[in-house]
Amino acid sequence: MIIIKKLCMEFGDNKIFNNINLNIGNIDKVGLVGVNGAGKSTLLKILAGKVLQTSGTVNYSGKFKNVGYMPQVITELDLPLELSVFDFIISGRPIKELEDKLHEIYKQMESEELGKDEAKLNKLLKEVSDIQARMEYWDIYNAENEALKIIIGMNMDGIDLDEKIKNLSGGQKSKVAFARTLYAKPNILLLDEPTNHLDKASRKWMMEFFKGYEGSILAISHDIEFLDYFTNKTLNIDELTKSAKLYNGNYSQYIKQKEFNELTQNREFKNQEKEKERLTEFINRLSGTSGKKKRQAKSREKALEKLEKNSVERVKESKKMALKLVVNKESGMIPVKLEDIMFAYKEGKNILENVNFSLNKGEKFVIVGRNGAGKSTLLKVIVGQLLQQKGNVLFDRNTEIGYYSQEHEDLDLEATVLDEMKRGQGCTLRQLRGFLANFIFTGDKVNQKIDTLSPGERSRLALAKLAHKGANLILLDEPTNHLDPNTKKIIADVFRTYTGTMAIVSHDIDFLEQLNVERMLMLPTGQIKPYDKDAVRVYQQEELARIDEYSSNTHKLQRETQNNEKKKK
């Protein structure tokens, strides 16, 4: 169980939480919700021990604490880049360390002198008991089979298990780190937007995995279907009151309950205000009178005072982002053209081969492919962050590029929000403050270091920089990943009416449907087709079928191996 008492958190003058008290049960599956910047990611970091709260306590009950934490941004993890994928995953359970420790204790117990020291012997016996309990918990004799099941479920057959971590794409690194987190079998699992880097196959498997998970889960996600499938409680963090409230039920049940509560509160507020008006009018009418009427006025004044004291507030609405995308200068008819692009990471196989296409002025173009197919890599080649080994990227002389990175690597984490916006901008501080206010960065928030912003807030800042540039060619890498549903709807409306050219990488088909996409590039094949959501869904279903077949063949191989070993015995 997680026991939170009087939790407060502040970043400078910016208060995030104020006096939060919560109990999370041992098998509770909790969806953590709230607008971007409410403090969801900060709460998970506090629970994971990555950030120290300003005041208050967080305690864990149970035999031993084993917390698994998966952040939104993979760069927050210090990955062992020289380790192989498989070695990194199986390092999630300290099996060898436990075996070595047990062996060391047994050697001590063989000592003749130990027999004379009963207290020390009892201490060693207790250590043995504790280690054996942990070994049983981590199922050391079946651990590699469990690792294999997770690797299969996470749709990792496209990742070479002997490949070094450093040679993987960002999406692949996230998937591998996630697999290790699950393999570690934490009794408390903290997940920050876990579906961001998952394809449909691994997302489907994970939903089933979490539904039967024997431990508590706290998951931040804007994927409603995902949360509805396995959560039994919903924790809402209110950025206006700086408080947190735990609701019974999944996300959809929480929304119904919250809407009912807000409707009731607003109705009570309306009735209260009417009653205040009635009492005030009565008091004013009888002011200056005497006798019975004066006593009646006094009685109404007391009633009004009581009403004011127990006043119900109108439900406050969160501020919404105001995004506008303008084009400062028109591009030519072909803003960019790619010819025979080939790219490979050092010591790795080719990620991109013979990629050929051009973008037409004003079109919406989507890049489709499984994790590791090279979608993000292709955008980085176009923008010039990566240099291809072969081929050409040709731009029209009037092309001006705006790039929205999936991991926001272009943001200086040590800079403040205002300093980041000042870079390369010929604007006054007043103009920049006014512009940032459209993205809900107001007051002291503009002086906050980017390192302390939530992933959702970093996304808003990246959108602010993109909007301020006025580019006529925009490259977007998973733009909805860290955004709440309201903000996602806002950017869909703005992107749809953008008059420039747009190339998008996104796993969110419903989002793409709102943008009037015209064509799509299928990776790794390099085929260009008219955009068809059904074709993309079929592609995803084929991925699911392929994974199911891979899983079935692997399980069959496991059974055959086990049967052969039994025959040998």
What pLDDT, in 10s, does the model give residues 510-527? 889 899 999 999 888 899
My answer on whether 292 and 243 are in the same domain is no
Q: Is residue 387 part of a domain?
A: yes
Q: Binning pLDDT at 50, 70 and 90, where does residue 62 land? A: confident
Q: Are residues 228 and 306 in the same domain?
A: no
| 262 and 210 housed in the same domain | no
**Residue 27 · residue 72 · CB < 8 Å:** no
Task: Please say if the pLDDT value at position 562 is more than 60.
Answer: no
Last residue of a domain, one of 234, 254, 274: 254
Residues 402 and 468 occupy one common structural domain: yes
Residue 133 lies in a domain: no
- SS3 per-residue string spanning 52-96: CCCEEEEEECCCCCCEEEECCCHHHCCCCCCCEHHHHHHCCCCHH
Does residue 317 lie within any of the structural domains? no
Same domain, 292 and 349: no
- Is the residue at 563 inside a domain? no
Is there a single domain that holds both residue 209 and residue 291? no
Task: Using the predicted structure, report yes or no on whether residue 566 has a pLDDT greater than 50.
Answer: no
**Which residues is 505 bridged to in the sheet?**
367, 477
Closest CA to 509 of 202, 200, 195, 155: 200
pLDDT tens sequence across 94-147: 988 998 999 888 888 877 666 667 788 888 888 888 889 888 888 888 888 899
My answer on whether 280 and 344 are in the same domain is no
Residues contacting 333, CB < 8 A, separation 6+: 360, 361, 396
CB-based burial, 309-333: b 16+ in 10 Å, e otherwise: eeebeeeeeeeebebebebeeebee
Asked whether residue 565 carries a pLDDT value surpassing 60, the answer given is no
Report the 10 Å Cβ neighbour count for 492. 18
Same domain, 401 and 390: yes
- Rounded percentage of the chain residues whose pLDDT exceeds 70: 92
| Total of domains in the chain | 3
355 and 499, same domain (yes or no): yes
432 in the same domain as 284: no
Closest Cα to residue 551, out of 120, 29, 202? 202
Q: What's the CA gap between 273 and 265, in Å, rounded?
A: 12
| Domain endpoint, select from 238, 254, 270 | 254
**Exposure letters 23-52 (e unless 16+ CB within 10 A, then b):** ebeeebbbbbbbbbbbbbbbbbbbbbeeee
Residue 54 resides in a domain: yes
- Cα distance between residue 320 and residue 51, in whole Å: 28
d(CA 355, CA 338): 7
Rounded to the nearest integer, the mean pLDDT of the chain is 87
Q: Which domain holds residue 73?
A: 2-97+142-254
Q: Which of 265, 295, 310 is the last residue of a domain?
A: 310
Give per-residue pLDDT as tens, 443-460: 888 988 898 888 888 999
Model confidence at 557: pLDDT above 50: no
Which pLDDT belongs to residue 112? 61
**CA torsion, points 134, 137, 140, 146, in degrees to nearest 10?**
-150
> Does 417 map to a domain?
yes
pLDDT value at position 232? 96
Residue-wise pLDDT for 215-233, tens only, equals 999 999 988 899 999 999 9
Tell me, yes or no, whether 326 lies in a domain: no
Per-residue pLDDT reduced to its tens digit, 169-187:
777 888 899 999 999 999 9
- pLDDT(567) > 80: no
Same domain flag for 235 and 364:
no
Residue 197 shares a structural domain with residue 262: no
Which is more confident, 115 or 393? 393
Query: Does residue 555 surpass a pLDDT of 50?
Result: no
CATH of residue 48:
3.40.50.300
Rounded distance between C-alpha atoms, residue 157 and residue 546, angstroms: 10
Is 546's pLDDT higher than 70?
no
Here the tokens at position 29 are 């599956």
Task: Identify whether 38 is part of a domain.
Answer: yes
* 58 pLDDT tier (thresholds 50, 70, 90): very high
